[in-house]
Each structure stands twice: as C-alpha cells, then as structure tokens.
C-alpha cells in the first residue's frame, strides 16, 4: 500500500469532495499531503484526523502569495514532487446572463489558479529531479453543456495548459496530465440536492455505467498519475466518466 512512498503533494480544494478523497487515498499510500483550501473548518479537521501525514493551509489558488505559502508547507513535509490542481468553482448561467465579472471569477480560480500552481511547482520539482502535476479538468473540457460557458472554457483551457506544460517540463522529469471526471457525487455534482441513489436513477440511468460516480473513482486515477507507475505518461487526458463521452444506452435498443 505504499505506491506514493517518498512523495509530498499539494492537493488544492482538498477539504471536501474529490480533493478530500484524493488526500485520503494519497496518505493511505504513503504520501505526505498539504491540503490547500478556503474551507478552514473542514480542512483543519481532515488534517487533524490524518496526523503527521497532512497539514492544512488556508489558500486561495488565484492568489500568487498563497502558492508561495503552499510550496513552503510542502517543503516542510518532504521533497515536493506532486501537485493536484483540483480546486474549482462552477457557474451555471447562459452566455447572455454571464457578466464579465462572473466570467473572470471562474477564470481566476479554475484557470489562473492552475497556471499559478504549475509555475510555482517548476523550480522545486526541477530540484527534486522529478514531479507529477495532475490538472483536474472535466468532461466539460472535452465537450460542453448549456449554461457552462465560463466553466467549460476554463476546463478546455486547463487541457491546453496541460499539453503546453508537458512539452516544456518533460525535459526536467516533470510529467503533466489532465484528469476528466464525469458526473461525480460531490457538492459541485449536486449532492446537496439529491441522494446518490435518486441522482443515479434520475440523471445517469442511460449512461454506459448507469450511476453517478464516486469521488474515490477519480482519486484512483490521480493516484496512478502521481505514482512511478505512470512514468511514461505526460500531456495526456485521463477520463473517468462512466462512459458519458462514449455515448448513451437508448431505451428499446438491444441490451438497454
Ligand atoms: N463533481 C463533478 O461532477 C465534477 C465533474 C467534473 C469535474 N469536476 C472537477 O473536479 C474538481 C473537484 O470538484 P468537486 O466535485 O470535488 O467540487 P467541490 O465543490 O465539492 O470541491 C471543490 C473544493 O475546491 C475548493 N475551492 C474553491 N475555490 C477555491 C479557491 N479559490 N482556492 C482554494 N480552494 C478552492 C472548495 O472550497 C472545495 O473544497 C473540480 O476541479 C471540478 O471542476 C467535478
């Protein structure tokens, strides 16, 4: 169970949802983890539960100075060599109703936040001689849906940024990949409004895997990418979407 022995990671948005599942799984596999989030209560409770393996820092990923703090925290735990750019916000508004301010708010957290995270990781990971940067995009970085102009634009941007960073940083032993979750049962995925069973039944019944995804199912993809099992993967897209992007089962068709 030590697929991440010797690794020290920063997981942004690590206080809840997929970030929390990633933090727990990384620690279970021997990593030290900095949990960076705006949610102090949740983040501190999680760090306390995980003991010496984790620390929480209050951080806003869109603020450059907070990245300096996060990197220093990682270096206080060990050799900083894994970054999961997971923090994001969602905005559901049609283009006509999206103000410039709305749009930039999403860009600042999702897109600029990931860029700042990558930039601040370069020197420490170069010095470490290796690193893995995992950028959490979305299925909406592969296609889009109505009402997601700002969110989807940032998730496509993260995919492009991933490829650019992979090209620039591979020579230093730093791998950069994107992860594309489909519908996952978290606050962002609507968990406040529907039970997991009801959500699966109402929204995901026609999907190849006919249920909503679990945060741990995405965390396992990040675990692979963070580990030395993934040393020849960079600039690539790793999808965990229950087959959403592949197509739907249709009522009345064979095997539906
Ligand atoms: N849930 C889904 O269905 C789904 C699908 C595709 C992609 N994603 C992506 O997965 C990632 C995790 O999402 P989730 O579903 O766990 O969402 P979530 O809302 O449960 O968690 C997001 C976390 O990010 C933190 N955060 C938000 N803004 C921040 C900031 N400026 N600085 C630091 N932390 C900040 C939040 O406090 C929260 O803890 C996101 O990148 C999201 O876009 C989610």
pLDDT in tens, 120-147: 999 999 999 999 999 999 999 999 999 9
For residue 254, pLDDT beyond 90 = no
**Spatial distance between the Cα atoms of 19 and 136, rounded to a whole number of angstroms:** 10
Tens digit of each residue's pLDDT (9 = 90 or more) over 186-199: 999 999 999 999 99
Q: Tell me the CA–centroid distance for residue 190 and ligand 1, in Å.
A: 12
Using alpha carbons, select from 172, 161, 160 the residue that is nearest to residue 131: 172
Total domain count for the chain? 1
Kindly state whether residue 2 falls inside one of the protein's structural domains: no
55/210 Cα distance (integer angstroms): 37
Q: Is residue 205 part of a domain?
A: no
Residue 232's CATH number = 3.40.50.720
According to DSSP, the residues that pair with 148 across neighbouring strands are 93
Q: Is the pLDDT of residue 1 over 70?
A: no
How confident is residue 256, by pLDDT bands cut at 50, 70 and 90?
low
For 227, which DSSP code? Answer: S
Which residue is closest in CA terms to ligand 1's atom 40? Answer: 88
In whole angstroms, what is the distance from residue 4 CA to residue 167 CA? 24
In a domain, 134, yes or no: yes
Q: Cβ(9)–Cβ(226) under 8 Å?
A: yes
192 part of a folded domain: no
Which string of b and e fits 116-129 if b means at least 16 CB within 10 Å?
Answer: bbbebbbebbeebe
Q: Does 221 fall in a domain?
A: yes
Cα of 250 vs centre of ligand 1, distance in Å, is: 31
* Residue of 186, 218, 219 best suited for mutating to test ligand 1, as the one with most atoms within 8 Å of CB: 186
Q: Could you identify the atom of ligand 1 that is nearest to the CA of residue 212?
A: 3
CA-CA distance, 228 to 131, in Å (whole number)? Answer: 10
What residue numbers bound the domain in which 131 lies? 8-184+215-238
Mutation choice for ligand 1 from 40, 62, 73, 88, CB with most ligand atoms inside 8 A: 88
Query: Ligand 1: which residues within 6 Å by Cβ?
Result: 12-13, 15-19, 37-39, 59-62, 86-89, 109, 136, 138-139, 181, 183-184, 186-189
202 inside domain? no
Q: In angstroms, what is the span from residue 255 Cα to ligand 1's centroid? A: 35
Q: Is residue 177 part of a domain?
A: yes
Instruction: Assess if residue 250 is contained within a domain.
Output: no
Token representation of residue 2: 């030590």
Provide the CB-side half-sphere exposure for 210 (13 A, CA). Answer: 11
Is 151 a residue of the active site?
yes
Cβ distance 230 to 219 under 8 Å? no
The position carrying tokens 């708010």 is 105
Taking alpha carbons only, the member of 3, 47, 43 closest to residue 25 is 3
> Strand 131-136 to strand 32-37: parallel, antiparallel, or no bridges (unpaired)?
unpaired
Q: What is the pLDDT of residue 252?
A: 77
Would you state the pLDDT for residue 251?
A: 76
Residue nearest to atom 32 of ligand 1 (CA): 60
Whether residue 231 has pLDDT greater than 80:
yes
């Amino acid at each position: 169970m030590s697929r991440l022995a010797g690794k020290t990671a920063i997981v942004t948005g690590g206080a809840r949802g997929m970030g929390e599942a990633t933090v727990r799984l990384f620690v279970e596999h021997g990593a030290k983890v900095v949990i960076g989030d705006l949610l102090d209560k949740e983040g501190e409770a999680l760090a306390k539960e995980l003991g010496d393996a984790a620390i929480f820092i209050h951080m806003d990923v869109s603020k450059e100075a907070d990245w300096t703090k996060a990197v220093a925290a990682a270096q206080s735990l060990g050799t900083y060599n894994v970054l999961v750019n997971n923090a994001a916000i969602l905005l559901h508004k049609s283009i006509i109703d999206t103000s410039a301010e709305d749009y930039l708010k999403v860009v600042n957290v999702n897109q600029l936040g990931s860029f700042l995270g990558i930039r601040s990781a370069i020197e420490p990971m170069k010095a470490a001689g290796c690193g893995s940067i995992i950028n959490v995009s979305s299925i909406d970085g592969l296609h889009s849906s109505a009402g997601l102009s700002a969110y989807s634009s940032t998730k496509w941007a993260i995919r492009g940024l991933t490829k650019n960073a992979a090209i620039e940083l591979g020579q230093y032993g730093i791998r950069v990949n994107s992860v594309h979750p489909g519908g996952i049962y978290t606050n962002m995925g609507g968990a406040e409004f529907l039970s997991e069973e009801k959500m699966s039944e109402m929204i995901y019944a026609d999907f190849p895997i006919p249920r909503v995804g679990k945060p741990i199912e995405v965390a396992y993809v990040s675990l692979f990418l963070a580990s030395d099992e993934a040393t020849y993967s960079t600039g690539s897209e790793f999808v965990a979407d229950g087959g959403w992007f592949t197509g739907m089962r249709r009522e009345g068709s064979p095997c539906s």
